[in-house]
C-alpha cells in the first residue's frame, strides 16, 4: 500500500527543506525526496563551501598584509589541503544540523530519485511520486495531496564547450580541487565568476576573466560594476570584455588554450585551467513533468504568484521557475507556496525588495532598481552617494574603498534602490531591504541614528546625501 502524505517535496535543497519545515509547522505530514544530500547545491556545491573558501582567501590576504597593522609575521604560506578540510568540516556540521531539523519536524526523507507519475491506480490525478534507488531496489510509491517541485539547477556550459572536470571545469569541480592552478581563465563575469576570480586572485592565482558583455556583473548598477572592476584589477585580475569565446578553438595540452573574438579580431588565451561560469540550467528533465499539464517555457516551470503550476495541487519554487536564482529567494517562495496550500493567505513576494549579495573582495550588495532601470521605468531620480573613505571604522579596518548609492523617486521621495560596494556590505544590505519593505524614504533612513564608529554610518550619510546634507563629505 502506497504511503500518503499531505505534501511531498521533490528536492532537499534550501528551498525544499525550508518548505518542508514550514509545512510541518502547519500540521502537514511531509516527505522529502532527495537523490543526494540534504541541503542541496547551496550547502554542498554553492553558497556555503564557496564562502568557506572565500573566508580562507580573506585570511590569507590579511596575513600577507599584516605588516600594515604593525603585526610582523613570517612569510605566509597557504596549505590548500587544510583549506579544503576546513570547508568540508563547515559543510558537514551544517548538513548534520539539517538532518536534525528533519527529525525534529518528523519529516520523512527518501534518498532516491523522485519522478511525478500521471493518473494511475494510486491516484486519479497526476502527482503520485515514484522513487528510484541507486542500488536497484524496487521503486517506492508515495501519494501526496500536494507536490512541491524544488529540484534546483546545475551549471551550464556554452554550446560546443565540453566540460571535462579537470582542465575545463565548472564551479562544482572547482570546489573539489586538490591543488590550486597557477593560472586560470574564467569564462563569464557574473556573480559566480567574480567570486571565484576574487578568491583565486587572493590565493595568488593568475586570473583572466573573459566576459561576453561590455560590463562585468551585468545585473548590478553600472557604478558598482565599474568600481568592482577597478578594485579587482588592483588584485592583478585581467578583464577582457565584449569577448565572444569560440568553443571550437579549445585545445588541451599542458593546460588549456582558447580563442575569443574581440572587435572582429581573434585573441588567444592560455592557462592551467578554465572555469566556465555562464549561468545555470533548471533541473526539469526526467522528473515526470511530461505526465502532467505543467507548462515549461525556456526550460523553466511556469507558476502563478503563489507558485502553483497549471496542475493546482503541484507547486514549484526556486531555480526551476527561473527568476532570482538565490537560496534565500527559494526559501521564501517555498514558505509562500506551503502557506497557500494551507489556506493561510500569504502575501506574494515583492522581488524588488529582495537583497542580492556578491561575496568577492570587495563585497557587493544591492536591493531594488538600478539607476538605469529606474530611469527606464520613467522615474525622475535623486541620488545620494557616499564613500567608505570618509567613514572612520572603514579606515580602522584598512578597507576604505567603495561606496553606498541610494536612488530615490524625486516626486514621492520613495526609496527605489540601494547599492553598496565595500567592506561587509553583504551584512549591511538588510537595513536597505527593511527600508524597501516599509516603503521608507531617504529622510527616514537618515533619521535612524547609526552608531559611531561603525561601517553602517555610510548608510546614514548616503541617505543625507540625497538632499546634499551629508555631514562628512
Which residues make Cβ contacts (< 8 Å) with residue 64, sequence separation at least 6? 76
* CA–CA distance, 461 with 473 (Å, rounded to integer): 8
Beta strands in 193-240 (DSSP E): 206-210, 238-240
Of the residues 44, 340, 452, 472, which is catalytic?
452
User: Residue 191 phi/psi, 5° resolution?
Assistant: -60, -55
Cα–Cα distance measured from residue 126 to residue 334, given in angstroms and rounded to the nearest whole number = 21
Q: Which three cell numbers stand for residue 150?
A: 524544488
90, three cell numbers: 563547515
Contacts of 228 (CB under 8 A, 6+ apart): 194, 216, 217, 220, 358, 360, 362, 364, 421
Max Cα–Cα distance, the chain, nearest Å: 75
Instruction: Estimate to the nearest angstrom the gap between the alpha carbon of 261 and the chain centroid.
Output: 29
Long-range contacts of 346-350 (CB under 8 A, 24+ apart): 346/306, 348/305, 348/306, 349/305, 350/437
CB 335 within 8 A of CB 18: yes
Whats the size of the chain, residue-wise? Answer: 473
The answer to whether 95 is a known catalytic residue is: no
Going by the DSSP 8-state scheme, the letter that residue 105 receives in this structure is T
Alpha-carbon gap, residue 38 to 48, rounded angstroms: 13
Yes or no: say if 417 and 367 are a contact pair by the CB < 8 Å rule.
yes
Q: 3-class DSSP state for residue 184?
A: strand
With CA atoms as reference, report the closest residue to 418 among 400, 427, 401, 431: 431
Burial class (CB within 10 angstroms; exposed 0-12, middle 13-18, buried 19+) of 100: exposed
The helix (H) or strand (E) run that includes residue 90 is: helix 80-104
Cell of 48: 556555503
3-state secondary structure of 370: coil
In which element (H, E) is residue 18 found? helix 14-25
558537514: which residue's cell?
92
Backbone angles phi, psi at 213, to 5 degrees: -85, 175
Other CB atoms within 10 Å distance of the CB of residue 29:
17
Q: 107 with 32: CB under 8 angstroms?
A: yes
Give the Cα separation of 16 and 34 in Å (integer).
9
Positions annotated as catalytic residues are 452
Amino acid at each position: 500500500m502506497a504511503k500518503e502524505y499531505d505534501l511531498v517535496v521533490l528536492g532537499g535543497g534550501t528551498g525544499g527543506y525550508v518548505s518542508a519545515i514550514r509545512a510541518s509547522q502547519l500540521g502537514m505530514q511531509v516527505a522529502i525526496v532527495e537523490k543526494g544530500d540534504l541541503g542541496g547545491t547551496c550547502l554542498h556545491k554553492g553558497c556555503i563551501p564557496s564562502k568557506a573558501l572565500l573566508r580562507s582567501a580573506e585570511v590569507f590576504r590579511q596575513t600577507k598584509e599584516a605588516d600594515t597593522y604593525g603585526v610582523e609575521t613570517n612569510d605566509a604560506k597557504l596549505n590548500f589541503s587544510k583549506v579544503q578540510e576546513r570547508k568540508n568540516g563547515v559543510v558537514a556540521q551544517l548538513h548534520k544540523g539539517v538532518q536534525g531539523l528533519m527529525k525534529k519536524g518528523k519529516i520523512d526523507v527518501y534518498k532516491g530519485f523522485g519522478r511525478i507519475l500521471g493518473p494511475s491506480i494510486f491516484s486519479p490525478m497526476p502527482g503520485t511520486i515514484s522513487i528510484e534507488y541507486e542500488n536497484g531496489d524496487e521503486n517506492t510509491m508515495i501519494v501526496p495531496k500536494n507536490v512541491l517541485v524544488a529540484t534546483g539547477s546545475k551549471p551550464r556550459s556554452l554550446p560546443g564547450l565540453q566540460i571535462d572536470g579537470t582542465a575545463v571545469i565548472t564551479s562544482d569541480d572547482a570546489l573539489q580541487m586538490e591543488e590550486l592552478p597557477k593560472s586560470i581563465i574564467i569564462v563569464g563575469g557574473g556573480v559566480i565568476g567574480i567570486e571565484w576570480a576574487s578568491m583565486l586572485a587572493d590565493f595568488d592565482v593568475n586570473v583572466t576573466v573573459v566576459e561576453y558583455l561590455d560590463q562585468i556583473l551585468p545585473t548590478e548598477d553600472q557604478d558598482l560594476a565599474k568600481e568592482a572592476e577597478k578594485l579587482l584589477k588592483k588584485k592583478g585580475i585581467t578583464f577582457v570584455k565584449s569577448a565572444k569565446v569560440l568553443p571550437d578553438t579549445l585545445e588541451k595540452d599542458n593546460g588549456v588554450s582558447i580563442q575569443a573574438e574581440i572587435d572582429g579580431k581573434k585573441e588567444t588565451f592560455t592557462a592551467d585551467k578554465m572555469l566556465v561560469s555562464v549561468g545555470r540550467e533548471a533541473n526539469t528533465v526526467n522528473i515526470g513533468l511530461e505526465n502532467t499539464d505543467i507548462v515549461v517555457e525556456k526550460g523553466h516551470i511556469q507558476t502563478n504568484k503563489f507558485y502553483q503550476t497549471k496542475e493546482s495541487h503541484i507547486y514549484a519554487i526556486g531555480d526551476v521557475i527561473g527568476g532570482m536564482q538565490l537560496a534565500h529567494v527559494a526559501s521564501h517562495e517555498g514558505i509562500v507556496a506551503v502557506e497557500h496550500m494551507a489556506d493561510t493567505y500569504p502575501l506574494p513576494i515583492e522581488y524588488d525588495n529582495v537583497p542580492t549579495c556578491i561575496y568577492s573582495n570587495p563585497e557587493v550588495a544591492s536591493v531594488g532598481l538600478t539607476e538605469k532601470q529606474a530611469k527606464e521605468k520613467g522615474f525622475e531620480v535623486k541620488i545620494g552617494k557616499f564613500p567608505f573613505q570618509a567613514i572612520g571604522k572603514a579606515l580602522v579596518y584598512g578597507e576604505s574603498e567603495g561606496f553606498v548609492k541610494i536612488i530615490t523617486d524625486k516626486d514621492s521621495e520613495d526609496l527605489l534602490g540601494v547599492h553598496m560596494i565595500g567592506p561587509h556590505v553583504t551584512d549591511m544590505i538588510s537595513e536597505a531591504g527593511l527600508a524597501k519593505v516599509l516603503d521608507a524614504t531617504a529622510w527616514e533612513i537618515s533619521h535612524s541614528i547609526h552608531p559611531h564608529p561603525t561601517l553602517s554610518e555610510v548608510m546614514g550619510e548616503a541617505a543625507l546625501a540625497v538632499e546634499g546634507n551629508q555631514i562628512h563629505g
